[in-house]
Amino acid sequence: MIQTTRPPLRRPAPPPAALAEAEALLDGQPHKALTKAEAILAKAPGYPPAEFIVARALRRIGKGKQALARLDALARANARVPAVLWELGELSAELGDNPRAVVALQTLTQVQPSIPSGWFLLARCLRKLGHSGDAWRAELSAIYASSHDAELQKAALAVNDGLLDEADAVLKARLVRLPDDPPACRMVGEIAWRRGDMTTALEWVERAVLAAPGFDLARDFLIRLLMQTNRLPDALAHAEVLIGSPVESPGHKLILASVLVKLGHQERARSLYEELLAAQPEQPQVWQNLGHVLKTLGAQTEAVHAYRQAVKYQPTMGEAWWSLANLKTVRLDADDIAAMEAALASLGAATDEQNEDVFHLHFSLGKAFEDARDYPASFRHYDAGNALRRTMVLHDADSFSAEVRATAETFTAAFIAQMGDGGCPAPDPIFVVGLPRSGSTLVEQILASHSQIEGTMELPEMMMMAARLQSRVDEGEFADFATMVASLTPDDRTRLGEEYIERTRVHRQTGRPLFIDKMPNNWQHVGLIKLILPNAKIIDARRHPLSCCISGWKQHFARGQTFTYDLGEIGLYYSDYVGLMAAFDAHAPGAVHRVIYEDMVADTETQVRCVLDYIGVPFEPGCLEFYNNDRAVRTASSEQVRKPIFRDGLEPWRNYEPWLGPLVEALGPVLTAYPEAP
């Protein structure tokens, strides 16, 4: 079995009974161990095992310098005995003599390269001497040695088999013996992540990286955790470190590019992807990632080329086909349809992993046949793609409707008055809310063309904060949503508002005083927004229910929007949205400004002036020339908002009218009352 603690001393001969007795006394009674070992040396001067016990005993009673002298002498005579080298290295490090420690530990790791503890200690000493590159390599060697450790292998197998409690017990016992063992810390973090405990996961993985800064796999995992919790500046800092690894890996550049994309640093991400492709062009995933960045930057021709390169190298890559179709301004021709149908046929009975390609291909074929005006075929593929995708997401329409009703019943005029003043007074945020495909990107692009307003992206911060508050109800701290919200004191609300301002600061790249948060789902939290950010503006972008819902149903979203994959469910969601916004309008008149998409198309200038008046900024002609704004746009409408407003396609639902019964039924009176609420 591979050792992970101090290597044993190679004894030239079996020790006498007195030697064994002295050894047994070392940890509990080092003074007695010293006495017995010296007695042995009196009879057998220079006997190495006894000398070794003397040195270790001296160290334990606080006589480190004397111990070091004895160890030095032992090491000269026993230059390749692992136990002596380990003790010498460890004691030298304790005394701050890192050069001496490094010499001993370098010899130790040459003699026994399979023992991780020697490599880890060597790395710590090298870092203290400023030799970070050598330290990094030593830590990588330690991780490699750890991969052969039987105890860690047992824990890893248990994790892979889903036996998380068993793995956790093995690792926690190991950490009692080997505190801050980096591989064990990382694996405990993974267990917490698999359990959904992100806070604990981050603590353990950060501990692993702190103990071994050259543990590349742990740092990579940490970056991914930080991205999942939206701690993007921290993720970027770690990604910048990772690309300095002495072991070059394309994966390091890929994860850095991912962080940069999330932060909105598209140009640098583009450069990284292009570097990777220059070195190795046959990488469909990298071509696709590059296409996403180019699309966001408005470089449509280059984006089309990138996506086509992706499907050239991997014809079944459904997401790349969908990315082409999702440009909206690109038409997939008969050759493309044939290629996609061949790809779909080749996938046959798809695995769970291949289902991602299958539903993307169905969505892409739906768009291609729509462009070809073959609406029955188009609907058939859209329907198949949505049906498959629906099996892969969680959405409880009834539960969601109940939550929306609870919110509407909470934020009454009386409740709002009872809560009184409070919250962060910052006027910076402009929330653009509504359903996806409602014209919200158009509103955002118009506003972002104003000299005082910065466009960012769909920011997750408010959704995350609301989920955190809801978890207090789910975990039993409060009886219901209303009780939880009512418990927020003015100071609580101020802190929450300040937290939002601080967390979103990373997305602001200019000095403009106002910024847009275009997360559409924030309509669910308009009451909370006004409680914690009373001076924030909220713009409700609304579109005809059939046009909005069918456009959302035809759209595959990279994440979230789980309600869009069933015509009945998307209709219920639209009805819930209208109901909540109507209730808020009644109890807080004027708090939300509504923009009706069809009105914006019919009389753009009047609508733009109205929304700018609501925000409190003067009209600027540039807002009417929003299509000249070259800012990065990440939503599905990114290409459409780079052109003047067009009136075509105002009623896309008409092409699919024969099949819209479930949607019409779910919308009910909301459909006939539009643009008013029933």
Q: What is the CATH number of the domain that holds 28?
A: 1.25.40.10
Report if residue 154 sits inside a domain: no
Report if residue 295 sits inside a domain: no
CA pair distance 153, 96, nearest whole angstrom: 34
Please state the φ and ψ torsions of residue 374, each to the nearest 5 degrees: -95, 80
How would you label 112-148 residue by residue, b for 16+ Cβ within 10 Å and e otherwise? Answer: bebbbbbbbbbbbbbbeeebeebbbbbbbbbbebbee
Number of domains, the chain: 3
Residue pair 88/75 in contact by the 8 Å Cβ criterion: yes
Written as six digits, the tokens of 329 are 């301004």
3-state DSSP assignment of residue 645 = coil
Last residue of a domain, one of 100, 129, 146: 146
Q: Are residues 402 and 387 in the same domain?
A: no
Given this model, what pLDDT does residue 2 score?
38
Given this model, what pLDDT does residue 626 score?
79
Q: Before 213, cis peptide (omega within 30)?
A: no
Segments in the chain below pLDDT 70: 1-16, 350, 629-649
Given this model, what pLDDT does residue 72 score?
87
> Which residue, chain included where needed, has tokens 């075509």?
648
CA pair distance 327, 564, nearest whole angstrom: 19
Given this model, what pLDDT does residue 22 score?
84
> Which residue, chain included where needed, has tokens 């024969």?
658
Report if residue 207 sits inside a domain: no
CA pair distance 352, 341, nearest whole angstrom: 19
Q: Are residues 380 and 404 in the same domain?
A: no
Q: Are residues 373 and 405 in the same domain?
A: no
Cα angle 636, 641, 643 (rounded to 5 degrees) comes to 135
Given this model, what pLDDT does residue 632 score?
52
500: domain CATH number?
Answer: 3.40.50.300
Given this model, what pLDDT does residue 529 score?
97
Q: Are residues 627 and 531 in the same domain?
A: yes
Report if residue 170 sits inside a domain: no
The residues with which 552 forms a beta bridge, in sequence order, are none
Q: Are residues 80 and 103 in the same domain?
A: yes
Report if residue 197 sits inside a domain: no
Q: Are residues 517 and 481 in the same domain?
A: yes
Q: Are residues 432 and 506 in the same domain?
A: yes
Domain that holds residue 342: 318-392
Last residue of a domain, one of 344, 377, 392: 392
Q: Are residues 388 and 448 in the same domain?
A: no
Report if residue 580 sits inside a domain: yes
Given this model, what pLDDT does residue 372 score?
94
Q: Are residues 122 and 44 in the same domain?
A: yes
Q: Are residues 522 and 669 in the same domain?
A: yes
Q: Are residues 382 and 406 in the same domain?
A: no
Residues in the chain: 678
Last residue of a domain, one of 343, 360, 392: 392
Residue pair 656/379 in contact by the 8 Å Cβ criterion: yes
Q: Are residues 567 and 458 in the same domain?
A: yes
3-state DSSP assignment of residue 176 = helix
Given this model, what pLDDT does residue 457 score?
86
Report if residue 652 sits inside a domain: yes
Report if residue 503 sits inside a domain: yes
Residue pair 536/529 in contact by the 8 Å Cβ criterion: yes
Could you please report the per-residue DSSP string of 420-483? Answer: -S-S-----EEEEEE-TTSSHHHHHHHHHTSTTEEEEE---HHHHHHHHHHHHHHTTSSSSHHH
The HSE-up count of residue 639 (CA atoms within 13 Å, CB side) is 17
Tally Cβ neighbours within 10 Å of residue 65. Answer: 11
pTM here? 0.81
